[in-house]
Amino acid sequence: MIAGISLVVGGIGIMNIMYVSVTERTKEIGLRMSIGARGIDILMQFLIEAIMISIAGGLIGVGLGIAATKLVTLFLHWPTFVTQSSVILSFLVCFFTGVFFGYYPALKASRLDPIEALRYE
């Protein structure tokens, strides 16, 4: 339950970061669209950015988790280990969290009108 709440909170953070990114880069989006970028190109740009943010958070989380298991083994002498499947599963969850929470801001960016985007201040 706690992990689910953490994923939702992290996902909302990713969504807010992506909204700010779209807002700050509106002129750039308009320029790219005016010289021929399609909506799918813009959507993929922002979706990949959201996934990269999510996976960077996953790398930090896995690194801290592995470090914590090493510290528990070192100081408490409890046998701990990290399985490869748990690391892969965590990155899959990070990937899908980035896709799920990054899709709507990316879709919003891909649907901008190039003329209005270029006028945006």
Q: Is the Cα torsion angle 101, 59, 40, 16 positive or negative in sign?
A: positive
What does the buried/exposed string (b/e) look like for 84-114 if buried means 16 or more CB atoms within 10 Å of the residue's CB?
Answer: eeeeeebeeebeebbeebbbebbebbbebee
pLDDT computed for residue 1 by the predictor: 83
Indicate whether 121 belongs to any domain.
no
pLDDT computed for residue 85 by the predictor: 94
Question: What is the count of structural domains for the chain?
Answer: 1
> What's the whole-model pTM score?
0.86
The domain containing residue 75 runs over which residues?
2-116
Dihedral pair phi/psi, residue 33, rounded to 5°? -70, -35
Contact 100, 53 (CB under 8 A): no
Angle at 26 between CA 24 and CA 31, to 5 degrees: 135
pLDDT in tens, 8-65: 998 999 999 999 999 999 999 999 999 999 999 999 999 999 999 999 999 999 999 9
Indicate whether 64 belongs to any domain.
yes
pLDDT in tens, 85-116: 999 999 999 999 999 999 999 999 999 999 99
Indicate whether 97 belongs to any domain.
yes
Indicate whether 36 belongs to any domain.
yes
Task: Name the more confident of 2 and 39.
Answer: 39
Q: Estimate to the nearest angstrom the gap between the alpha carbon of 53 and the chain centroid.
A: 4
Indicate whether 84 belongs to any domain.
yes
